[in-house]
Amino acid sequence: MPTVTENQPPNILWISLEDTSPQFGCYGDSLAETPNIDGLAADGRVYTEACSTAGVCAPSRASIITGRYQTTIGAHYMRTRAYEPRHTKSSNTLFFRTISLRNSLSGVPEGSRILLYQQLEY
């Protein structure tokens, strides 16, 4: 496995799938044919245990996307509307300032520039 030096940041690939089990060759499933995932796993690190701050998918994903606990954004129930606490900047504002998809999906105005995470003002 490649090592990370002080001058080289880690190369992280986060794969999130919809309601899947560990039915991949890299997890020992003999029937699964998953050569691409298996190849990535062979060159990287495979985790077999994980913790979540919620027992259902939508609040868990909300936490991963925003980096906040579900209870702080109102996403701890499956079908409630999320809200922004008054003392924080809007997650949407930070998200759309970080990732500009042009007008394809996000509605970001033409000519907006892509900012790196480190360039965001807090």
26 is catalytic: no
Structural domain span for residue 110: 89-122
> Do 16 and 64 meet the contact criterion of CB atoms below 8 Å apart?
yes
Q: Are residues 15 and 43 in the same domain?
A: yes
Q: Are residues 78 and 95 in the same domain?
A: no
Q: How many domains does the chain have?
A: 3
> Which of the residues 42, 56, 57, 120 is marked catalytic?
57
Each residue's pLDDT tens digit, 4-13: 667 888 788 8
Question: Which secondary structure element, helix H or strand E, spans residue 58, and what is its range?
Answer: helix 57-66
Q: Are residues 39 and 76 in the same domain?
A: no
Q: Are residues 69 and 96 in the same domain?
A: no
Q: Are residues 46 and 70 in the same domain?
A: no
Is the pTM of the predicted complex or chain greater than 0.75? no
Q: Are residues 106 and 78 in the same domain?
A: no
Q: Are residues 4 and 20 in the same domain?
A: yes
Each residue's pLDDT tens digit, 39-85: 999 988 888 887 888 878 888 888 888 888 888 887 877 655 555 56
Dmax over CA atoms of the chain, in Å, equals 51
Residue 93: strand, helix, or coil: helix
